[in-house]
Amino acid sequence: MIAELVSGIVYSSIILLTPLLLAGIAELLVEKSGLLNLSIEATMLMGAFTAFMVAYYTQDLLLATITAGVAGIIMCLLFALLTVFLSLDQMVIGLAMNILTIGMTSYLYRASFGWYVSPVPPHIKETIRPIEIPVLSDIPLIGEIVFHQIPHTYLAFLLVPLVWWFLFKTRLGLKTRAIGEDPQVADYLGINVNLIRFYILIFEGFIVGVAGSTLSIAYYNMFLDNMTQGRGYIAIALVILARWNPLLLLPASFLFSFIDAAQLRIQASGVIPFPYQFSLMLPYLLTIIVLIIAGRKVKGPAALAKPFKKVR
């Protein structure tokens, strides 16, 4: 009984974890290169919106996922233009893009489906289904939980070691870390700071766009106003919690989503004597506490969020 409950919670926490881990791992890479991209919240929302629209009109889920990635790239290109090439303040631009996108997606949604949302909102019939990995999914307990997920989840798990390998084992990864520590010095050594940041942002755009698509075409079958609900910000907090280490990002995001899954379970059971809003608060509260305990002496990339301008 207890085992069943726990494995149920673990199963749903891996579901909750997927968009966070995808966005987190991409943001981690971006932050390692010295940029702080708050607009991943907007990128994710745009991904969710685009995925839903394409899926609704074409019923093609693969196409919808890819288009979400492309929409994400476009968002990050805008961010790149403003912060990398025009050296504007990253926080201001990020926040502005987030607010803009909430309004824009809600507006476009209504422009397509009419101003009065009917009691049954537009939805798609098919959502992305979990895929069983042969052999591995037969492992008792773990197989059921881990290897019976949607492809996005596998992508997220795969990206963790990949990003680690890229950052710490490749020449380009070394350069990436260097421009996050001191872009002036990197530039002096002949590294093209803006170009590397540009490529990494494109990567982030795609991954975060796809992360957004999980919300509207995998876990739900519809789009809701501001349906990311701050998951982009959570991803950024998780990066700090993981101390900018890709390998720590996995446990960090699991911890968060496990609490989240548990509180959802408690809410659903209706046994708690206090208002459900309290348990809604729990994952965030826990993140703050963990940040206070674990995040104090941690230093991020030295040049994080500082605008870089070439002078000669």
Partner 1 sequence: MPLIRLENIVKIYPGGTVAVDNACFEVEKGEVHALLGENGAGKTTLMKILSGCLKPTSGSIYVDGRRVEFRSPAHAMKYGIGMLHQHFTLIPSMSVLENVMLGLTDQDVKKEKLLKDIERISKFLRLNVDLRSPVHVLSVGEKQKVEIMRMMLLKARILIFDEPTSSICGPDAENFLDMLKKLASEGYGIVLITHKIREALKVCDRVTVMRKGKTISTLKRDEIKDERVLLEMMLGEHFLPEVLKQPREEYETPLLIVKDLVVKNDQGVVKVNRVSFEVRKGEIFGLIGVEGNGQKELIESITGLRKQLSGQIIFNNSKYSSSPSYIPEERMEVGVAPSLSVMKNAVLRDFEREEFSGRYGILKFSKIGEITNKIIHFMDVRTPNMNLPVKYLSGGNIQKLIVGRELMRGSELLIAEQPTAGLDVRSAYHVRKNLLKLASMGVGILLVSSDIDEVLEVCDRVAVMRDGRIVRIFNASEADPKRIGMYMLAAEVGLSSQ
Q: Which residues bind partner 1 (CB under 8 A)?
A: 171, 174-175, 177-178, 181-182, 185-191, 299, 302, 312
Smallest gap from residue 116 Cβ to partner 1 (A): 54
CB-based burial, 209-229: b 16+ in 10 Å, e otherwise: bbbbbbbbbbbbbbbbeebbe
Q: Tokens for 186?
A: 């990197």
Contact 119, 222 (CB under 8 A): no
Pairing status of strand 148-149 against strand 131-132: antiparallel
Smallest gap from residue 97 Cβ to partner 1 (A): 27
Instruction: For residues 302 and 312, give the distance between their C-alpha atoms in angstroms, rounded to a whole number.
Output: 22
Backbone angles phi, psi at 139, to 5 degrees: -60, 130
Smallest gap from residue 17 Cβ to partner 1 (A): 30
> Which residue, 134 or 190, has its beta carbon nearer to partner 1?
190
Smallest gap from residue 92 Cβ to partner 1 (A): 19
> Which residue, 158 or 185, has its beta carbon nearer to partner 1?
185
> Which residue, 174 or 288, has its beta carbon nearer to partner 1?
174
> Which residue, 171 or 309, has its beta carbon nearer to partner 1?
171
Smallest gap from residue 187 Cβ to partner 1 (A): 8
Judged on CB neighbours under 10 Å (0-12, 13-18, 19+), 312 is: exposed
> Which residue, 151 or 295, has its beta carbon nearer to partner 1?
295
Smallest gap from residue 181 Cβ to partner 1 (A): 5
Instruction: For residues 19 and 255, give the distance between their C-alpha atoms in angstroms, rounded to a whole number.
Output: 14
> Which residue, 99 or 172, has its beta carbon nearer to partner 1?
172
SS3 helix, strand, coil % of the chain, rounded to 5? 70, 0, 25
DSSP lists the bridge partners of residue 229 as none
